[in-house]
Amino acid sequence: MIRNNGDNRYPKGIFLNLKGHVVMRVVGWLSKSVSFGSKGAARGLVAMLFAATVIFGQGPVRMAHASDDPSGPLLHLKGALSQGASPTEITLNAAALAEIAPVSFTTTTIWTNGPQAFKGSSLAGLLKHFNITSGTLLARAVNDYTVEIPVSEIEEGGPMIAFEANGAAMPLRDKGPFWLVYPYDLDERYRSEKVYSRSIWQLVSIEVVP
């Protein structure tokens, strides 16, 4: 894998994973091969050219978050994650989401009892971070339930991608690990069937489409 240090849109711990190739293995092999003289250096050059071919070849760039717990909950962001950019996929865990656009609020919901203290990543902040200003979000749950949310209808102070409720991570059986939550008590506009239908839980991916 190659760390994407050149783009500060991606928090520390995000790595490139291009076309399924584990580029880190190539880089590791290269670092060893150059120590074996000119033949090893030549082989290393071939590896570098191969990696460059993968990077600049056709097809979407895939990204993976390097989590301390690779088996932990991950959210996939797909599509043109910057205006005019090539299709990309980024995989984030809760720590990476919190680093991009941390937010918290307390609200009641129609699915829970009493006020709930949520912590997560602002959806508007996430879109701003990746310079996404138009299109539609396709949010998909683990059971393939999908909702469409126009980017134009996402505003500051609105929904978050919650990964904690009342100070604890949300398990799959309790609407986790990610839940798109609105501050329902803040504005009556958020207490509507449209918003309730968009409040997707067990969220696994968000795709940006034109």
pLDDT given at position 80: 75
pLDDT digits (tens, 9 = 90+) for 87-106: 788 999 999 999 999 999 99
Q: Domain coordinates of the chain in residue numbers?
A: 2-61, 96-209
The ranges of the chain with pLDDT < 70 are 1-72, 82-86
Q: What would the DSSP string read from start to end of the chain?
A: -EE-TT-TTS-TTEEE-GGG--HHHHHHHHHHHGGG-HHHHHHHHHHHHHHHHHHHSSS-EEEEE--SSTTS--EEEEE-SSTTPPPEEEEE-HHHHHHHSEEEEEE--TTSSS-EEEEEEEHHHHHHHTT--SSEEEEEETT--EEEEEGGG--TTS-EEEEEETTEEPPGGGT-S-EEE--TTT-GGGSSHHHHHH---SEEEEEEE-
pLDDT given at position 87: 74
pLDDT given at position 83: 58
Domain 96-209 listed as CATH 3.90.420.10? yes
pLDDT given at position 119: 98
pLDDT given at position 196: 98
